[in-house]
Amino acid sequence: MNNVFVYCEIEGTQVQEVSQELLTKGRKLANQLGVELNAVVAGTGIKGKVEDQILPYGVDKLFVFDAEGLFPYTSAPHTDILVNLFKEEQPQIALMGATVIGRDLGPRVSSSLTSGLTADCTELEIGDYDDKKSGVHYDNLLYQIRPAFGGNIVATIVNPEHRPQMATVRSGVMQKALYEGEAKGEVVYPDVAKYVPEADFVVKVLDRHVEAAKHNLKGAPIVVAGGYGVGSKENFDMLFQLAKELHGEVGASRAAVDAGWCDHDRQIGQTGVTVHPKVYIACGISGQIQHIAGMQDSGIIISVNNAPDAPINKIADYVITGTVEEVLPKLIKYYKANNK
């Protein structure tokens, strides 16, 4: 009762990284609250294959639901697993990835339980809340912190009365780490039929293609990212050249993706990928909060921008005042000339 739950997402028998990141965060929250960390995973033929990918992150109790029809994911069976399990277990917090699956499942579960859900959180903290209207004081609520309104403001959301307090978090926002403390590591295999009625299996997956990611933006040590100020698709191609020289990856702001200069899966920011590189080179990026939320923990930030007052310059270590067309060829040239 009253524990922290993490829904673990799988592809086949592979637990997704975003779930492990959430387990690490969930462990910290559970320690702060003095409760257990529980995890739930559902799939087909996963028994004996997923436990070792989940327990080392500090899980006290893992619920494994293994049955035909639970992979590939469809909404109804996974919803009923969580809804019925949460009715029994009464968690105070439930976390899941802000993935296609998490964003399909989370709202359906929250609606069933009439509990609040906050999407795409960038921070999760524990804190107190005073309801000004009712004058009631609440201890130890989950602060669900996220940029809002196109990333122009940051809102802290709380769910004072309803449980569980639910939040989704994007991949890469939290950092995963094996747990060094003691956790119980108990595993149970509930009878799926008790949780999922046969009528749930109405949506059929006819065909499915999943490709491994074409790039490793999330883990790249050097990221060259472009925004609307890059100006054109041709100029944007220079970013790929520089990234290739530096053995880095190319990212983009939402504006550059909307302009069609770069694939959507390279978008950095609250509604894209979060990166933590050693070096971040921001080219023609003004620096809306929604973007900065996805790169502010970079080691060294270099901003190339012809506007000296671009907001991103405030958090940059080096500000190069100039256009992308002018500066990028020189960066490539002098890197080639001076590297050995």
Partner 1 sequence: MSLKIVVLAKQVPDTRNVGKDAMTAEGTVNRAALPAIFNPEDLNALEQALRLKEQNPGSTVGILTMGPPRAAEVIREGLYRGADTGWLLTDRLFAGADTLATSYALATAIQKIGDVDVVIGGRQAIDGDTAQVGPQVAQKLGLSQVTYAEEILKCEDGKLTIRRHIDGGVETVEAPMPLVVTVTGSAAPCRPANAKLVMKYKRATAPMERKPEDKYNYLYEERPYLTLNQWTVADVDGDPQQCGLSGSPTKVKAVKNIVFQAKESKTLTGCDADIEGLVKELLDEKIIG
Q: Is 267 one of the annotated binding-site residues? A: yes
Please, which residue, 55 or 196, has the CB nearer to partner 1?
A: 196
Query: Which residues in the 118-147 window bind partner 1 by CB under 8 A?
Result: 118-120, 129, 131, 143-144, 147
32 secondary structure, DSSP code:
H
Please report, as a single letter, which amino acid is at residue 39.
A
Per CB under 8 A, 263 contacts partner 1? no
Please, which residue, 55 or 243, has the CB nearer to partner 1?
A: 243
Alpha carbon distance 333, 322 (integer Å): 16
Please, which residue, 233 or 330, has the CB nearer to partner 1?
A: 330
Per CB under 8 A, 87 contacts partner 1? no
Per CB under 8 A, 318 contacts partner 1? yes
Please, which residue, 33 or 183, has the CB nearer to partner 1?
A: 33
Query: For residue 143, how far is the Cα from the chain centroid?
Result: 16
C-alpha closest to that of 302 among 291, 312, 288, 290: 312
Per CB under 8 A, 313 contacts partner 1? yes
- Residue 162's H or E segment, with its range, is none
Alpha carbon distance 9, 16 (integer Å): 6
Alpha carbon distance 188, 32 (integer Å): 25
Per CB under 8 A, 1 contacts partner 1? no
CA-CA-CA-CA dihedral for 196, 199, 203, 204, to nearest 10: 90
Query: Which residues in the 210-229 window bind partner 1 by CB under 8 A?
Result: 210-213, 222
By CB under 8 A, the count of residues binding partner 1 is 97
Minimum CB–partner distance for residue 145 and partner 1 (Å): 9
Per CB under 8 A, 79 contacts partner 1? yes
Residues 142/165, Cβ–Cβ less than 8 Å:
yes
CA-CA-CA-CA dihedral for 195, 199, 200, 203, to nearest 10: 160
Query: Which residues in the 12-71 window bind partner 1 by CB under 8 A?
Result: none
267 secondary structure, DSSP code:
B
Per CB under 8 A, 271 contacts partner 1? yes
Residues contributing to the annotated binding site: 253-254, 267-271, 284-291, 305
Residues contributing to the annotated binding site for FAD: 253-254, 267-271, 284-291, 305
